[in-house]
């Protein structure tokens, strides 16, 4: 049989391949790497869509918490009152004047507003996706935020609910709320609410007020140039104010007119003609006089700022609405006394010979470098803050030193160390060495730390009580070791102090290197007066809306810091701190006679001076120092410069009706024999060594074991 030629065989194979069905040929997707890439891309796309859906769902849930009825309510001032109903001040003090319907607003302004702020207002559902994309592209090119992409509805959302901050979280929430607003309100209703709420500079809210303030005419009579100028003001009301920056306002007016021409609202010729005009703006003084007469605006204070921040935290959707009745725990009589006492004492310190720091009276501008002070007065059995001084002048510095300044406590921390030790079997009459701390005496310390006493002297055996009354550092360290660092750290946590130091405690913690603010430290001390229970400090009692609905009502938060017996023992010693021989003896020398306990504190080189004390009803903390820590003066002990402020303030409290009585007993107290060395029931060795003494012991701390030796 004859074989086919080689070339013929090749042609036949090609013919067979070409004759095979197309679907049988290997395609691109049959390649494993390509298939893997396609599947990976699909999975990534599905994952991205799922994440986007979850994000949108999350922000939609947050948006649902905001009351949409608020959009149609004009903002009103919120009234802040003290515990007795006295006026503390106003928040959100806008005077929006008379609301006007769209029919009573110049169509020129409505066109200028839409052209300048949201040209696709009638076409989107609250979010202009083209505008957002365009803004992001411009911001990426400029490498900074120069355009926000906000629609009028999103701006109305910000104005209504007081949303602040420039971040993605706030923007997504704003978008979610804007979509809800668009579903609830018509475009004309949204526009109406916007023009009656928008801020246009110098205390002007709403178009009617701005038209009257700048031009002395109703909004219906605005000319095209005037309308364009007001629309141009919106993005930076103070920077483009026609009162103070007329040329900048003119530039914005001309830019708005060009936008109106681009949108076909006016012709190019009209835009050019209107751009040559210079609208006459009335004097700013005329408007300010009207504003003072009609508005309810308060000078900002530390108290009002605290209230504003707390209301914003609790009721974010009501911040921009206003019209709230806010009842606080403050007592204006006590607040006035606290401010006056602090001011007098700090001025007196500045007048001392050799005082080396800038004085309050000489301050003109910038961050204040003069001496500062802070104080807090609160009710022991409720935590209600009655007075709070955050600094000498809110106008000079808005930093609240009573709630935000974390300063080393020094010796005012020591009672918490003693309290922890009392819970663990220590008693005031026991003996502890006042000698220097020896190397290795603190087993967990690797630094060989050994503190000095304030007087530079080391002693022998002293009673525990004497260690706290005389504020001995070495004794406090040994007493801290008796309790154990873990128990001291737990005590700090229960008292609401030293969050940073608790993470990695070091031996100097025992003598007050812990940072704290005046409010928290005062609250911690209140537990000594209440038998060991701390009531969380608060100043906001209730909030009701303009319709009388209760939006917030305070509920007491309390928990036990110390056992009743340990709290009583600590308080028993702290009462001796303010008696003759104690570091706070100046309190009695000044004439304060009511039962009280407290502790002074002075940090290294006299940088911080403290006194925190309490009566049966009130606790009060006082701090004095410089914002940039430095020596206040020579011998600026807490007992010398902080105690007088406490005395004046608490004497005023007693004078206006706060009653200070005896402290309650912790149930049954038994006089019994103990061993001075171990705190246990004495054995035969104790009698032989003459270590037996009589102690008043609260029932819950009675030792159950006998001393087995020394």
Q: Which domains does the chain have, with CATH numbers?
A: 98-294 (1.10.3810.10), 330-352+368-405+517-659 (3.40.710.10), 410-515 (3.40.710.10), 669-701 (no CATH)
Residue 282: which residues within 8 A CB-CB, separation 6 or more?
213, 214, 215, 216
Contact by Cβ (8 Å): 304, 104: no
Q: Give the phi and the psi of residue 665 in degrees, each rounded to 5.
A: -80, 150
Q: Sorting pLDDT into bands at 50, 70 and 90, what band is 2? A: very low
Q: Mean per-residue pLDDT for 493-512? A: 89
Kindly tell me the burial class for residue 522, based on how many C-beta atoms sit within 10 Å of its own C-beta (0-12, 13-18, 19 or more): buried
β-pairing, 618-625 vs 372-379, is antiparallel
Q: Mean per-residue pLDDT for 71-100? A: 83
What's the confidence (pLDDT) of residue 32?
73
Q: What is the pLDDT of residues 676-704, one digit of tens each?
A: 999 999 998 999 999 999 999 999 999 99
Residue 10 pLDDT more than 70? no
Contact by Cβ (8 Å): 633, 652: no
Q: Please provide the average confidence, as pLDDT, over all residues in the chain.
A: 89
Which range scores top for mean pLDDT: 97-106, 204-213, 372-381, 491-500?
A: 372-381
Q: Which residue has the tokens 């007469």?
A: 293
What's the confidence (pLDDT) of residue 46?
72
Q: What is the pLDDT of residues 238-260, one digit of tens each?
A: 889 999 999 999 999 999 999 99
What's the confidence (pLDDT) of residue 51?
63
* Joined tokens for residue 274: 């209107």
Predicted TM-score (pTM) of the model is 0.77
Contact by Cβ (8 Å): 372, 402: no
- The CB density around residue 177, as the number of other CB atoms within 10 Å, is 29
CA dihedral sign of residues 467, 469, 473, 478: positive
Q: Mean per-residue pLDDT for 497-507? A: 86
Least Cα distance to 513 among 500, 522, 527 occurs for: 500
Report helix, strand and coil shares of the chain as percent, to nearest 5: 45, 15, 40
What's the confidence (pLDDT) of residue 96?
57
Q: Which residue has the tokens 């994952």?
A: 47
Q: What is the pLDDT of residues 531-582, one digit of tens each?
A: 999 999 999 999 999 889 999 999 999 999 999 999 999 999 999 999 988 9
Q: What is the pLDDT of residues 428-477, one digit of tens each?
A: 999 999 999 999 999 999 899 999 998 899 989 999 999 999 999 999 99
């Amino acid at each position: 049989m004859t074989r086919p030629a080689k070339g013929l065989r090749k042609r036949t194979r090609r013919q067979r391949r070409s004759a095979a069905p197309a679907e049988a040929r290997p395609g691109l997707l049959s390649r494993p790497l390509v298939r893997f890439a396609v599947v990976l891309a699909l999975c990534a796309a599905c994952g991205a869509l799922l994440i986007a859906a979850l994000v949108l769902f999350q922000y939609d849930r947050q948006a649902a918490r905001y009351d949409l009825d608020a959009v149609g309510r004009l903002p009103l001032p919120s009234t802040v009152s003290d515990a007795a109903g006295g006026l503390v001040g106003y928040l959100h003090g806008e005077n929006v004047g008379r609301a006007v319907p769209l029919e009573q607003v110049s169509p020129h302004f409505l066109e200028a507003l839409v052209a300048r702020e949201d040209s696709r207002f009638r076409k989107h559902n609250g979010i202009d996706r083209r505008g957002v994309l365009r803004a992001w592209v411009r911001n990426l090119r400029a490498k900074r935020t120069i355009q926000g992409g906000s629609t009028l509805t999103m701006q109305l959302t910000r104005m209504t609910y007081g949303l602040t901050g420039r971040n993605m979280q706030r923007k997504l929430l704003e978008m979610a709320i804007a979509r809800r607003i668009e579903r609830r309100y018509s475009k004309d209703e949204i526009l109406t609410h916007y023009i009656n709420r928008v801020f246009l500079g110098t205390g002007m809210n709403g178009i009617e007020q701005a038209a009257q303030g700048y031009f002395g005419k109703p909004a219906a009579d605005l000319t095209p140039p005037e309308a364009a100028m007001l629309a141009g003001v919106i993005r930076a009301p103070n920077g483009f104010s026609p009162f103070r920056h007329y040329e900048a306002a003119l530039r914005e007016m001309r830019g708005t007119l060009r936008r109106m021409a681009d949108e076909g609202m006016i012709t190019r010729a009209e835009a050019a003609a209107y751009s040559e005009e210079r609208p006459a703006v009335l004097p700013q003084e005329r408007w300010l006089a009207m504003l003072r007469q009609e508005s309810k605006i308060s000078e900002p204070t530390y108290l009002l700022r605290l209230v504003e921040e707390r209301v914003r935290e609790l009721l974010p959707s009501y911040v921009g609405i206003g019209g709230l009745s806010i009842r606080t725990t403050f007592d204006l009589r006590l607040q006035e006394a606290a401010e006056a006492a602090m001011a007098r004492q700090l001025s007196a310190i500045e007048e001392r010979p050799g005082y080396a720091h800038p004085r309050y009276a000489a301050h003109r501008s910038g961050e204040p470098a003069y001496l500062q002070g802070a104080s807090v007065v609160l009710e022991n059995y409720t935590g209600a803050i009655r007075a709070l001084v955050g600094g000498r002048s809110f106008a000079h510095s808005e930093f609240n030193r009573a709630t935000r300044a974390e300063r080393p406590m020094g010796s005012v921390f020591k009672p918490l160390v003693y309290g922890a030790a009392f819970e663990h079997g220590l008693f005031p009459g026991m003996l502890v060495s006042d000698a220097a701390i020896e190397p290795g005496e603190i087993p967990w310390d690797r630094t060989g730390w050994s503190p000095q006493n304030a007087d530079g002297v080391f002693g022998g055996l002293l009673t525990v009580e004497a260690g706290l009354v005389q504020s001995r550092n070495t004794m406090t360290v040994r007493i801290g070791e008796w309790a154990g660092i873990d128990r001291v750290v737990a005590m700090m946590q229960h008292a609401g102090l030293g969050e940073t130091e608790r993470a990695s405690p070091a031996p100097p913690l025992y003598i007050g290197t812990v940072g704290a603010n005046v409010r928290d430290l005062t609250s911690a001390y209140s537990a000594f007066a209440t038998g060991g229970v701390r009531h969380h400090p608060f100043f906001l009692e209730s909030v009701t809306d303009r319709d009388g609905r209760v939006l917030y009502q305070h509920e007491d938060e309390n928990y036990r810091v110390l056992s009743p017996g340990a709290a009583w023992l600590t308080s028993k010693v702290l009462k001796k701190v303010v008696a003759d021989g104690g570091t706070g003896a100046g309190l009695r020398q000044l004439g304060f006679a009511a039962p009280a306990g407290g502790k002074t504190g002075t940090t290294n080189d006299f940088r911080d001076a403290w006194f925190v004390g309490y009566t049966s009803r009130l606790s009060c903390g006082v701090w004095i120092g410089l914002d940039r820590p430095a020596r206040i003066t020579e011998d600026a002990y807490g007992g010398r410069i902080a105690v007088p402020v406490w005395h004046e303030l608490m004497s005023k409290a007693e004078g206006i009706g706060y009653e200070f009585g005896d402290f309650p007993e912790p149930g049954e107290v038994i006089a019994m024999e103990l061993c001075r060395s171990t705190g246990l029931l004495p054995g035969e060795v104790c009698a032989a060594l003459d270590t037996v003494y009589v102690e008043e012991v609260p029932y819950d701390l009675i030792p159950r074991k006998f001393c087995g030796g020394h």
